[in-house]
Amino acid sequence: MVRLYNLHPFGSQQVVPCKLEPERFCGGGRDALFVAAGCKVEAFAVSGQELCQQRCAFSTLGRVLRLAYSEAGDYLVAIEEKNKATFLRAYVNWRSKRTENSRVCIRMVGHNVEAPFSETFRDQMSILEMPLSETPLCISCCPVKGDLLVGCTNKLVLFSLKYQVINEEFSVLDFERSLIIHIDSITPVEISFCVGYVAVMSDLEVLILKLESDPKNGESVTHHPRKTNNPMKQAEGISDETLQLEPDDFVICQKPMELLGEKSEQSGVSVTLELTGLADEKIKYFHVQHLLYRRFAPDISSYVLSDDIKLHSLQLLPIYQTGSLTSDRKKSSQEKELLSLFCFFSLPHVGYLYMIVKSVELMSVYQYPERSQQAVLTPQFLHVITSNNLQCFTVRCSAAAAREEDPYVDTTLKTCPPVSLDVCALRIQLFIGLKAICHFKNHVILLTKADPESIPERRESPKRLLSRKGTSVNLKAPPVAEAGWNLYIVNTISPVQLYKEMIDYSNIYKTAKTQSCIHLLSEAHLLVRAALMDTSQLEPGEKAELLEAFRESCGHLGDCYSRLDTQHSHLALPYYKMSGLSMAEVLARVDWTVENGSQKYERGLIFYINHSLYENLDEELSEELAAKVVQMFHVAEPKQLPHILCSPSMKNIDPLTAISYLRKLDTSGFSLILVTLTKAAMALKMGDLDMYRNEMKSHPEMKLVCGFILEPRLLIQQRKGQIVPTEFAVHLKETQPGLLVASVLGLQKNNKIGIEEADSFFKVLCGKDGDTIPQLLVDLWEAQLVACLPDVVLQELFFKLTSQYIWRLSKRQPPDTVPLRTSEDLINSCSHYGLISPWVNVLISSDSLADKNCMEELSKLQTLWWKKLLPELCQRIKCGGEKYQLYLSSLKETLSIVAVELELRDFLNVLPEDGTAAFFLPYLLYCSRKKSLT
């Protein structure tokens, strides 16, 4: 389906001041337009929208049959005919041809240029003769590397672009015939070449190949083509005897066929390579990969067939990913990197666009309202001419390239309109007598001739169209020039200007047709996206304007998907994210008008707001907007209301308003405990402690833990990347610390919070900085050890606990809050805590450790594994680091206490098996002498 709009992609128009009727023309580069007529080529400079001036003119050997320009190398190549012989010639350094009588250097490809002539070559145009053993039929230049591909009967010849270095300051452009591609049974009418990809087209066949530089499976290179049987003959039941019969006896009509990827090798077209370049060439092609073969059948509905039922306008279109590669700080160069590649070809009434990188697939089919004569594909549009109309269609190349560039498109963060989007005709512009078209940059070049041709085209027998065997190419010169022709340059308007017109045009569809509004906004979005993909074509300052238009288009698409009920409503989220709009700005675009006493909120808006509030956005909605959000979810998604109220973005919500909506909830369909905790949080916010206690008493503690697991943001929130305890968490710390620790432990068990996050949470909650450990965090560690959390590393946990126990013992530092578990509780509930050894009882009974807190710490410290603790502590001391002094002082203090209280034998059992004897010797000596001292 092709949608039709009436937009204005074409802007100003100017006439090319050529003197003779153009027979061939082409354009390219920044401003170059070449027009061939008779035995002469005129080069024009196209700049701006109102200026087209002749730059130079030069004579050719004969009448020009084909013409092509290469931006890489800045050369023009032509197939010329003189005295019924054809020649292939390249025109180099043509910009230095200032007058028609200026001297021209003619040289043969591959011949070395002598150094004394370097200055001559620098200042004059050179013509390179390219001899071929067969007649050249068509040509194509690689837009990236400038290599030249020439089509001949049953073969393609590749000339690699290279430079002859004359001296350090000057080099001469040259070519080397490096490869011959033999293709049996196809005579090329048009070819296209781009960085190793080759497209060949005959009257009714298209073949796309990829030349690969690495040998496949160690295969050898075919230096001479071998004749192979055509498997399609047997498949179609055609015998050799039949093929040898007279053409008047049979009409051979082959079936239409489309073969993609590896299956295209079954086409029966034999392709072999013959290397002809020098051995020191950097890149050689050894292997051919078949990508696409498509054969069309002529219309045989009537006995008399028209000779012009043929394919035309074959084109490979690359989409580049441009990046600045800087070798040093002084020089910066822009190098084009191929991102995606597309192939277009057309029948008179229908065009086909394929994507051929990574996978080969048909992207779009273009149905023309009239019979087409020629078409050109650009990254943004397809321009088609009929006899009297210039038509502009949209293309999906940028949508496909976006997915090649970023496989994570179509997520909650970013998206792009689909490749399958219906194509549309933006404009059908009247031009009388259109004959030919070409395109470069933002210029469409049109040749018109109002009067009909005086010599009608020769119609051949229908049998010729039905068999590939008799295919030939008509390179006859056009008839003698007649009056009534013009060569026009039609300038396409800037992408931003056309984008704005599309946005204005889309407004008429906002209330009429949902899909039409989304479609046109998607077209506008793709238009801007395509322009941004090739920044080399942008004027200074235009990129910033395009980026702003890109963000604006994302906002418009977000509005569509959020307000209109479609199956893709969820796309409101990524489009709004790409737009850069804040949540408040999005809500300000919502129409809050109530119709018929009820308000309806579409699922796209609900999905966006819900997902945004679940993220840790550093944005706080105003009280008014927060109240509107609560109202929205009360109507559309009531079960999400408790979660919505816990978002940091809803901090300014009026608690009375929130409680009034919470009380209206029917809790039969979802968790009552979550509603209870949310009401308790709101009661705390407005200082109503009685209401808070009543809500908290309505459920047992384990139920409350389950409620916090359902919504962790009741306790823990993040703002600007930092963990922030809620007012609820602060209150629980003072009144119900056991519930708080159990809840955080529950969050860890359910992967709602990480180990480091939990540690940070308790440090911030208790106002402890640096290495100071609050008792609530020690309580959490002990709870983790008792619960045996699977993701907790036991050795790390052991060390954290023992370090804390030792530190408190050495500093005589009591815990800042009453521990939730005693040593007896831990021994009874956790296998990691062993029975207390006798020597520990000696320490506990010591007068120096009469303090109850110290006795608890020392009790907890024992079969946390004394025999494993000291070696681990010694190892950490050896490793050094920021905590080296803390570990060392802890070890010294502990050894001093133990050496005083233990007998020598018990003290020896405590010491680790490894370590420096000099370090432990003073403690051993003291322990052995203490009896004599007493």
pLDDT tens column, 258-273? 999 889 888 889 999 9
934: pLDDT strictly greater than 70: no
Per-residue pLDDT band at 141 (split at 50, 70, 90) = very high
The bridge status of strand 423-430 relative to strand 2-4 is parallel
Which range of 252-256, 536-540, 633-637, 930-934 scores highest in mean pLDDT? It is: 633-637
* Better-predicted residue by pLDDT, 653 or 453: 653
Q: What is the pLDDT of residues 152-169, one digit of tens each?
A: 999 999 999 998 877 777
pLDDT at position 251? 53
Q: What is the pLDDT of residues 308-332, one digit of tens each?
A: 689 999 999 999 875 432 333 333 3
Q: What is the pLDDT of residues 547-597, one digit of tens each?
A: 999 999 999 999 999 988 888 999 999 999 999 999 999 999 988 777 666
pLDDT at position 367? 92
Which range of 72-81, 99-108, 767-776, 884-893 scores highest in mean pLDDT? It is: 72-81
31: pLDDT strictly greater than 90: no
Count of Cβ atoms closer than 10 Å to residue 365 Cβ: 12
Q: What is the 3-state secondary structure (H, E, C) of 786-842?
A: HHCCCCCCHHHHHHHHHHHHHHHHHHCCCCCCCCCCCHHHHHHHCCCCCCCCHHHHH
Which range of 383-392, 810-819, 899-908 scores highest in mean pLDDT? It is: 383-392
pLDDT at position 223? 35
Could you tell me how many residues make up the chain? 934
707: pLDDT strictly greater than 70: yes
Which range of 234-238, 295-299, 364-368, 402-406 scores highest in mean pLDDT? It is: 364-368
Structure pTM? 0.81
Per-residue pLDDT band at 69 (split at 50, 70, 90) = very high
179 touches 276 (CB < 8 A) = yes
868: pLDDT strictly greater than 60: no
pLDDT at position 279? 53
Rounded mean pLDDT of the chain?
82
**Letter string b/e over residues 298-310, b meaning 16 or more CB atoms within 10 A of that residue's CB:** beeeeeebebebb
DSSP 8-state symbol, 221:
P
Q: Choose the weakest-confidence range: 480-494, 542-556, 646-660, 721-735.
A: 480-494
Tokens of 399: 């949508």
pLDDT at position 871? 64
Count of Cβ atoms closer than 10 Å to residue 571 Cβ: 24
Residues 6 or more apart whose CB falls under 8 angstroms from that of 22 comprise 35, 36, 37, 436, 447, 485, 487
Count of Cβ atoms closer than 10 Å to residue 375 Cβ: 23
Per-residue pLDDT band at 242 (split at 50, 70, 90) = very low
Per-residue pLDDT band at 721 (split at 50, 70, 90) = confident
22 touches 63 (CB < 8 A) = no
pLDDT at position 675? 94
Average pLDDT over residues 885-895: 78
